[in-house]
Amino acid sequence: MANFISHEFELPTHWAPYLINGDEDSLTLSEINIIDAFVKETGLGSPVAVGEETFFLKYHDAQNYGVLASDCATYSFLEEVDDLQPEPSLSAADRNPSMLG
């Protein structure tokens, strides 16, 4: 059985049509390249959901890509993790019961 970790990013709302549906009609080639670079760098693929609430942010998760202040929404991405991968919050003994005397 696969497990998933949810990752949330605050990203420009006008990215949603491209990220969710692949609709690039309202974007410039430069914007598409920025979005593609973000997706490639995160390695998470396309988001599975976009929050309905929007808000203006000067500092958001696309800022490092040269994207200025923008109306943003919360985008949720899922990462599939191996069943054998322990929870990062577990102690070494919890991860490996043979360590317990």
Q: Write out pLDDT tens, residues 63-101.
A: 999 999 999 999 999 998 876 555 666 555 555 554 444
Domain boundaries of the chain, sorted by first residue: 3-83
Q: Map tokens 């919890």 to a residue.
A: 94
Reported pTM = 0.77
Q: Write out pLDDT tens, residues 3-37.
A: 889 999 999 999 999 999 999 999 999 999 999 99
DSSP state of 31: H
Asked if 13 and 70 touch (Cβ cutoff 8 Å), the reply is yes
CA distance 15 to 90: 36
- 73 DSSP β-pair partners: 11
Structure-token pair, residue 75:
């985008």
- For 72, residues 6+ apart whose C-beta sits below 8 A from its C-beta are 10, 11, 12, 13, 54, 55, 56, 57, 60
